[in-house]
Structure 1
């Protein structure tokens, strides 16, 4: 049976505007237990920022987290999938582009979710180490 991205994606993704401070995004990620948020302008997807992006592209550059905006820390050259794409297509894209998360968009630009490598692992092999780690409660 064919499985689709919509079946396992995290819907209603958390989004921020490009001028949101790195500190505000980091707190949002902490408070909502997120590894990534989407950066949008209006209803258009502009980028994705992960917790690693905040560290490597913002904090490691000695920027003030209150003055540095997420626009400079997010990945902008995104690979996306649609909710009606198959999981096989999503896996192929993750492999080809070496990414761990894919924004899910409708009409080529409107974000409706995120699908992650952890989501795939839990769906494909719930007994795998990655599935266990992805399903575990976060460190406090």
Structure 2
């Protein structure tokens, strides 16, 4: 049987609301040592925001730290379901040129699948799998 998303995803993603400030979102990323967060509106997934978004779309454009994350979040977010086939997810990520996708049950985030997750599961000898499996830098 082909692997499904729920077998590879990172569970319990951190979700921020579209009304959270960039300062709050950046602090959450720093505290949790993550580079992306799922963005929701009243709990329903509407986007994703990365540390790169904060820098390129935020700081570089002069947007202040009190701005709302909804201004920077990638709004045309691609999502998958926990029971989706991994081969389909790979194709979705390729077609949409994304490195991570929120996993949703209905409208609620239940996980995230990243390129690193896929590499560790499907291409264990790759450099990406090795890097993804390494403990984070302190």
For structure 1, list consecutive stretches of 5 or more residues without a partner in the other structure: none
Q: Which of 125, 130, 133 in structure 2 is aligned with 1:132? A: 130
Paired position in structure 2 for 1:94: 93
Q: Give the distance between the partners of 2:116 and 2:21, measured in 1 at CA.
A: 27
Q: Tell whether 2:8 aligns with 1:8.
A: yes
Paired position in structure 2 for 1:73: 72
TM-score of the aligned structures, taking structure 2 as reference length: 0.95
Q: Give the distance between the partners of 2:43 and 2:70, measured in 1 at CA.
A: 16
SS at match of 1:103: strand
Q: Give the distance between the partners of 1:27 and 1:117, measured in 2 at CA.
A: 24
Report the number of matched residues.
Answer: 138
The Cα RMSD (Å) is 1.1
SS at match of 1:113: strand
Runs of 4+ aligned residues of structure 1 deviating over 4 Å after TM superposition are: none
Cα offset for 1:10?
Answer: 0.9
The superposition leaves residues 94-122 of structure 1 with CA deviations (integer Å, 9 ceiling, x where unpaired) of 10000000111112x22111100110000
Cα offset for 1:137?
Answer: 2.4
Paired position in structure 1 for 2:114: 116
Q: Give the distance between the partners of 2:6 and 2:70, measured in 1 at CA.
A: 28
For structure 2, list consecutive stretches of 5 or more residues without a partner in the other structure: none
